[in-house]
């Protein structure tokens, strides 16, 4: 139970009632004393029952009729005492005082009644009843005074009667008033003293409880600290107390550690002497570096912080141990890595850099310095003010790189065309970059490597050209034609318009190839490809899609008649005789024309429709063109004047 503080509680005690003015303080006081109250009530009830029982037995032994009222009164007191004795320990706290008051009322009324039938008890009973109420009733001041005054009035009234008061009766009344006043003052003073004593005792209990709580908390804190704590004697190093972390650190139970000398755990016993000397001089030592022996025979590097407690005679040392073995290993690895990185930075044949998000160069290794045409790192850093404007050939390329860095934190194989900063020579490079962040997650700078990729870009371009072009004629191959047909189809579906494909098959090529040989046939195909390009628009795609099969993708015609003009030009230019290393050959061509989206929109479907039209042209005698759409059969061009093969 926590009581109010001593001083406030004393100052809050009423000088009249001797009780706390604060209801909650008074309630706590009565709650703490409820056991005593109940014990006192049991004594009252028990005494009342015994005394009433004795007198009742004596009265019952007599046979006088006048004793019947006396027996009734004493029987009432005995019954009330027994009921109180039975209930007082079973009732809730708030009903104990009403029970005592009820019992006291019964005693007062019974005493008054006895005085009417036995006047011999006289003045003694008049003074005895209020005195007993004050002295033995464990009730609140107001209830006690009220019961005593009520008892005094009732007893005096039954003693004096209702006639005019005599001088003796007036003196009794005055004495009765003085008696109540005296006992009221005694009741108030005793209550005040009792409450002061309770405040002191409660304050003492609270102090002891807080002291115990502090000790328990200190003990729990000592044991719960995650780093080893050891308390040793300053003079001889004997271990007095350790926490759980100290047990786990060395693998030795506390019971085995306590009593041992701490000196045996120092790898160098002289370190302990140095530490204790510093403690004697300074009182506190922080960050003392030493090595300690472990249970398994190994050693650990530790930082020791210690403080001296107590007088010189019985001084102790509280030591906190921090294991820094792994930290020192990491530091050594970091130093080695830094050294390796510096060597790599200086000697790498790959360019290595560090730059700010704003485009300023911070570091550059010798390879990058040489790449940009400078002699020293400081020279390059001083020369570069804005990487975006001064280095990248393509405008906005640096912003594309920054966007990738913001999204992913790193960029791999970012290929760009750049200037060698000093000479302004244009070359291709490949960058691998990453972002270095601060503790707050903000970007500090960028780091990366670069290698020249000019030869790679040239090789990629050559490979791409080889993959998409016919090796004999250098025209687009079937794959590239299909790719561009798909692109054209997607454009038309999104934006409208139309495009067409013309399938061209050389007539009488096989007999020439068989007669003059494959080498001559290859020359004829190369010449046919040159003639096709010469009569097609620059934006048209001319492709070789088979042995002697060609195709033209046209995306810039206004009417089908424009396609007929192109087809007729092709027929005319291929009809010119071929002179190839001596032999002279005459071939022709058949052409099929399909228009998207009216004939088809998918690449393979449109090419199939053009192929169908091609076979119609062959069926109609060759050396002509046909549309896949029969409704365009009337779209014809009169033969144009013959075009020279070299034109």
Report, as residue numbers or ranges, the catalytic residues: 548
Find out whether 465 and 575 touch, Cβ atoms under 8 Å: no
Radius of gyration of the chain (CA): 59
Give SS3 for 69: helix
Find out whether 262 and 239 touch, Cβ atoms under 8 Å: yes
Tokens of 187: 């009741």
Using alpha carbons only, give the angle 540, 546, 549 rounded to the nearest 5 degrees: 60
- Beta-bridge partners for 443: 437
Give SS3 for 326: helix
DSSP string, 529-553: HHHHHHHS-TTSEEEE-SSSEEEEE
Using alpha carbons only, give the angle 440, 442, 447 rounded to the nearest 5 degrees: 125
320 membership: H or E segment, kind and range: strand 316-323
DSSP 8-state assignment for residue 548: S
All residues at 6 or more sequence positions from 423 whose CB lies less than 8 Å from its CB, including other chains: 373
50: left (phi over 0), alpha (psi -120 to 50) or beta: alpha
Report the Cα 106 to chain-centroid distance in Å. 72
Tokens of 266: 């120092």
CA-nearest of 348, 392, 390, 388 to 369 is 348
* Cα–Cα distance for residue pair 249/263, rounded to 1 Å: 17
């Amino acid at each position: 139970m926590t009581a109010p503080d001593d001083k406030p509680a004393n100052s809050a005690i009423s000088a009249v009632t001797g009780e706390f003015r604060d209801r909650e303080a008074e309630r706590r006081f009565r709650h703490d004393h409820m056991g005593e109250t109940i014990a006192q009530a049991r004594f009252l009830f028990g005494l009342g029952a015994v005394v009433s029982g004795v007198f009742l037995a004596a009265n019952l032994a007599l046979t006088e009729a006048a004793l019947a009222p006396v027996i009734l009164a004493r029987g009432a007191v005995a019954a009330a005492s027994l009921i109180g004795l039975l209930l007082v320990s079973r009732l809730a706290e708030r009903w104990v005082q009403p029970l005592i008051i009820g019992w006291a009322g019964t005693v007062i009324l019974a005493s008054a009644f006895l005085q009417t039938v036995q006047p011999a008890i006289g003045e003694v009973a008049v003074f005895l009843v209020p005195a007993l109420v004050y002295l033995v009733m464990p009730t609140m001041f107001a209830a006690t005074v009220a019961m005593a005054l009520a008892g005094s009035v009732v007893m005096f009234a039954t003693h004096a009667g209702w006639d005019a008061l005599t001088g003796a009766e007036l003196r009794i009344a005055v004495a009765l008033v003085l008696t109540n006043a005296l006992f009221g003052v005694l009741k108030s003073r005793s209550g005040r003293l009792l409450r002061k004593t309770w405040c002191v005792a409660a304050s003492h209990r609270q102090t002891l409880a807080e002291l115990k709580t502090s000790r328990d908390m200190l003990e729990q804190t000592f044991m719960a600290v995650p780093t080893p704590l050891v308390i040793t004697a300053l003079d001889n190093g004997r271990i007095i107390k350790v926490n759980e972390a100290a047990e786990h650190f060395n693998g030795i139970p506390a019971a085995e550690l306590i009593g041992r000398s701490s000196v045996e755990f120092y790898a160098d016993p002289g370190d302990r002497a140095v530490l204790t000397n510093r403690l004697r001089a300074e009182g506190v030592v922080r960050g003392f570096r030493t090595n300690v022996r472990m249970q398994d025979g190994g050693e650990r590097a530790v930082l020791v912080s210690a403080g001296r407690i107590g007088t010189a005679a019985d001084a102790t040392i509280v030591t906190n141990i921090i294991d820094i073995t792994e930290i020192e290993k990491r530091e050594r690895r970091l130093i080695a890595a830094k050294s390796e990185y510096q060597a790599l930075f200086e000697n790498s044949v790959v360019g290595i850099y560090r730059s700010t998000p704003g485009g300023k160069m911070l570091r550059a290794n010798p390879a990058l310095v040489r790449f940009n045409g400078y002699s020293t790192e400081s020279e390059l850093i001083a020369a570069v003010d804005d990487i975006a404007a001064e280095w990248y050939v393509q405008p906005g390329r640096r912003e594309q790189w920054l966007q990738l860095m913001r999204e992913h934190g790193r960029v791999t194989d970012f290929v760009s065309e750049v200037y060698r900063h000093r000479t302004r020579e244009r070359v291709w490079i490949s960058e691998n970059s990453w972002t270095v962040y601060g503790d707050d997650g903000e970007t500090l700078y960028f780091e990366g490597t670069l290698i020249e990729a000019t030869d790679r870009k040239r090789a990629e371009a050559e490979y791409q050209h080889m993959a998409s072009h016919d090796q004999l004629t250098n025209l687009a191959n079937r794959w590239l034609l299909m790719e561009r047909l798909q692109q054209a189809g997607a454009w038309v579906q999104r934006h409208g318009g139309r495009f067409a494909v013309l399938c061209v098959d050389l007539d009488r090529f096989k007999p020439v190839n068989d007669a003059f040989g494959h080498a001559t046939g290859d020359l004829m195909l190369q010449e046919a490809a040159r003639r096709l390009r010469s009569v097609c628009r620059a934006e048209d795609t001319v492709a070789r899609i088979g042995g002697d099969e060609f195709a033209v993708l046209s995306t810039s015609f206004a009417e089908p008649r424009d396609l007929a003009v192109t087809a007729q030009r092709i027929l005319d230019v291929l009809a010119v005789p071929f002179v190839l290393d001596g032999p002279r050959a005459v071939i022709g061509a058949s052409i099929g024309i399909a228009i998207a989206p009216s004939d088809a929109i998918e690449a393979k479907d449109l090419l199939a429709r053009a192929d169908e039209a091609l076979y119609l042209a062959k069926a109609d005698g060759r050396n002509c063109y046909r549309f896949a759409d029969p409704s365009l059969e009337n779209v014809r061009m009169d033969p144009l004047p013959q075009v020279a093969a070299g034109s």
